Structure 1
Amino acid sequence: MTHIFVAGVTGCQGRAVVHHALKKGWTIHGLTRNPASEAASALTAQGVQLTQGDYDDTAALETAMKGCMAVFFALVPNFADPSAEERWAVSIVAVAKATSIQAVVVSTGLGSGNPEQLTGWEEGSLIAQVMRSKQRVEAVVTSAGITNWTVLRPGFFMANFLVPKVTMYQGFRETGVWTTALLETTRLPLVDDLDIGAFAVEALARPNEFRGKTVAIGFDVRTPGQILQVLSAATGRKLKAKFLEGDELDKAKAANPVISSYLLMRDMVSLVDIDEVKSFGIPMGTFEEYVQRRIDDAKVTFENVAPKEEQ
């Protein structure tokens, strides 16, 4: 039986890996700061073996990885400690090597390899710091001397439009207006978190195909208007986008660091080779399918927006 260690096992991508790994009959190990939390309890009920600790706790990592053959990790930046993400990657990979882990799959982000190529790149901005951190995390994995490594670079998360992630878009839930620095013609390569999990598990199951590869994952390409049309149809709420420009855009950037990330996303689709994504033969879902799977969350997300017929 295959045993794998999943770092970030209670997170969006970690749970997606668990979903697909359990289908293969694999045993999953993970870390959690609070084994009594709702998320941890749910995983334990599925048979996931959890060790209490964090990524700075070498002993806990060693315990959690004992007997494992492979590692998946997707780390979240710590804005209070900018060095944390790279430090955690170093710790995870060091323990993986010491415990004879045979394969490592890391999920970073689209554009992490050479982010300065993106339109709107501003060195030193918050989003630039995040992407530089992801770039360093990738380097930790690819230079570690582990033969079977794979880097996954997911596109724009479908989950960003629903609770809880949607809160980063100020006012969207309350007013139904998505204020964005994207262009009306921007094409976003959307990705379902379950599809990231599928790629991660297949990369571990099919090392000969994924060894030493960096794969940009995106499948369902949509404009902002098309995205809102799907959400509106599913929830019965009329949603719209406000596209910032000129002085209004400059003021928004100064007040909200998330706005700068939109500028990088304007040409994000150019970083995804859809034909390559399809060539792995891994089924991927559409945005409509994702929203219907999470229809209850979709309705809760926009419950305060007036229904279509009242606007």
Structure 2
Amino acid sequence: MPKSLSVLVTGATGKQGGAVARALLKKGHKVRAFTRKPDSTGSLELKKLGAELAVGSFADKDSLARAMKGVDAAFIMSTPFEAGGTEAETQQGLSAVDAAKAAGLQHVVYTSVGGANQKTGIPHFDSKFRVEEYLQKSGVPYTIIAPVWFNENFLGMFGQGLKQGVVALALPAQRKLQQVAVEEIGAVGAAVIDRREQFLGKRFDLASSELSGEQVAEVFSRVTGKPIRFQQVPIAQLRATSEDMARMFEWFDKVGYSADLAALRRELPEVPWRSFEEWARAQDWKQVLG
């Protein structure tokens, strides 16, 4: 058994950070959850599981320094969607790296996005890659994990379409897209922190399955017992809402993620990898479909 570590988890009340925090606690590690809202449901649930709450924000460098003090490792994530855009997201990551260096941390695990190191031109990929480069040059011992498309996106941002019996993506019906479940990201984050020496200085894309939109609709139809079809959304329609998202789907179509699924399973056997259908069968479809 690896020794018990003290780990700071940023974004701990969100999907990725929450999954990492829970996986670490399950393994017997001590978790310090960095949160702006200690009274939020997510914060209180983590506290109940045994996490220590560290109140602060990336914008408050003193709170970040306090949170980093005395921990063995940190899981760092940033997001453009709550931070106020991609520039703010990059600044979040840089501030966290600076705080980790000042605190003398022996391991930082940064969660980026698959393909961010390929000069994609996608704003919220490029913002994360700037943090990757800064971390790699900082001298702080690091590992970078880069998750691909979340399975959970189909239930969250695309959940409304499912209620109408549609999986709607701005991709051709048979274009495959690599995917990963949030629970798997959590398990990988915890495993990388557990086995620090084996993953130091490494960066890898993280995926567990690869399906086309048509295949996703077939799986959902099978699992729910309701007819669900795929519908291709015109890229111009998506661009009218978000240039960032339009560029991402154009990249999905022309290039796409390239995680090595077989290698991930070999190198991380302790992760409970599931097929997309196994993941789908574990979801609360009554709640999703209303």
The TM-score with structure 1 as length reference comes to 0.84
Q: 1:36-47 residue pairs with structure 2 within 5 A?
A: 36-47=39-50
Matching residue of 2:150: 157
Q: Which amino acid aligns with 2:173?
A: E
Larger radius of gyration: 1
Give the CA RMSD over aligned residues: 2.0
The structural deviation recorded for 1:252 is: 4.4
Moved more, 132-141 or 174-183: 174-183
Q: Give the SS at the match of 2:70.
A: coil
Matching residue of 2:188: 199
Q: Residue 237 of structure 1 contacts residue 302 of structure 1 at CA under 8 Å; is this kept in 2?
A: no
Q: 1:5-20 residue pairs with structure 2 within 5 A?
A: 5-20=8-23
2:149 pairs with 1:183: no
Matching residue of 2:123: 129
2:64 pairs with 1:74: no
2:240 pairs with 1:254: yes
Structure 1 residues 33 and 252: alpha-carbon distance in aligned structure 2, compared to 1, 3 A threshold? closer
- CA distance in 1: counterparts of 2:241 and 2:89, whole angstroms: 25
Matching residue of 1:266: 253
Matching residue of 1:140: 134
Question: Quick one: which of 205, 212, 223 aligns to 1:234?
Answer: 223
Matching residue of 1:166: 158
The structural deviation recorded for 1:95 is: 1.3
Q: Give the SS at the match of 2:86.
A: coil
Q: Deviations over 1:37-78 (max 9, x none)?
A: 111110110111112211111221122222201011121114
Q: Give the SS at the match of 2:130.
A: helix
2:110 pairs with 1:106: yes
- CA distance in 1: counterparts of 2:23 and 2:255, whole angstroms: 27
2:289 pairs with 1:299: no
Structure 1 residues 73 and 234: alpha-carbon distance in aligned structure 2, compared to 1, 3 A threshold? same
Unpaired runs of at least 5, structure 2: none
- CA distance in 1: counterparts of 2:241 and 2:101, whole angstroms: 43
Q: Which amino acid aligns with 1:14?
A: G
Q: Deviations over 1:99-133 (max 9, x none)?
A: 121001111111100133xxxxxx4xxxx211110
Q: Which amino acid aligns with 2:70?
A: G
The TM-score with structure 2 as length reference comes to 0.90
Structure 1 residues 238 and 45: alpha-carbon distance in aligned structure 2, compared to 1, 3 A threshold? same
Q: Residue 188 of structure 2 contacts residue 268 of structure 2 at CA under 8 Å; is this kept in 1?
A: no
Matching residue of 1:119: none
- CA distance in 2: counterparts of 1:267 and 1:207, whole angstroms: 35
Count of residues in Structure 1 that have an aligned counterpart in Structure 2: 283
Unpaired runs of at least 5, structure 1: 117-122, 304-311
Structure 1 residues 45 and 268: alpha-carbon distance in aligned structure 2, compared to 1, 3 A threshold? farther
Structure 1 residues 103 and 134: alpha-carbon distance in aligned structure 2, compared to 1, 3 A threshold? same
2:67 pairs with 1:64: yes
Identical columns (%): 27
Matching residue of 2:94: 90
- CA distance in 2: counterparts of 1:255 and 1:18, whole angstroms: 33
Structure 1 residues 115 and 228: alpha-carbon distance in aligned structure 2, compared to 1, 3 A threshold? farther
- CA distance in 2: counterparts of 1:77 and 1:60, whole angstroms: 20
- CA distance in 2: counterparts of 1:110 and 1:46, whole angstroms: 30
Q: Which runs of 4+ in 1 moved over 4 A?
A: 267-270
Matching residue of 1:287: 276
Structure 1 residues 268 and 160: alpha-carbon distance in aligned structure 2, compared to 1, 3 A threshold? farther
Structure 1 residues 43 and 223: alpha-carbon distance in aligned structure 2, compared to 1, 3 A threshold? same
2:207 pairs with 1:218: yes
Q: Give the SS at the match of 2:210.
A: strand
Q: Give the SS at the match of 1:36.
A: coil
- CA distance in 2: counterparts of 1:208 and 1:45, whole angstroms: 31
The structural deviation recorded for 1:243 is: 1.9
